[in-house]
């Protein structure tokens, strides 16, 4: 193999490794975005429900003290 072919093979190998690294980084970012989105959805769904339950418990305590 000539010097030019060896250099081209090295360049192609490094280019493929860099592309694989970019792909891994892209998919990890996509995964993190999905995780955050799911966490936000869960929070927006569960926080108001938890507040409602806490309010019901508070009302039940008030009723048991005064009733």
**pLDDT one-digit tens code per residue, 1-55:** 799 999 999 999 999 999 999 999 999 999 999 999 999 999 999 999 999 999 9
**In whole angstroms, what is the distance from residue 9 CA to residue 15 CA?**
10
**In whole angstroms, what is the distance from residue 35 CA to residue 54 CA?**
27
Long-range contacts formed by 23-28: CB under 8 A, 24+ apart? none
User: Taking the model in full, what pTM does it have?
Assistant: 0.64
């Amino acid at each position: 193999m000539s010097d030019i072919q060896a250099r081209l093979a090295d360049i192609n190998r490094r280019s493929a490794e860099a592309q694989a690294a970019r792909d891994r980084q892209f998919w990890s970012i996509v995964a993190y975005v999905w995780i955050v989105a799911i966490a936000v959805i869960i929070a927006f769904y569960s926080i108001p429900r938890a507040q409602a339950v806490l309010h019901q418990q508070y009302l039940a305590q008030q009723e048991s003290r005064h009733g």
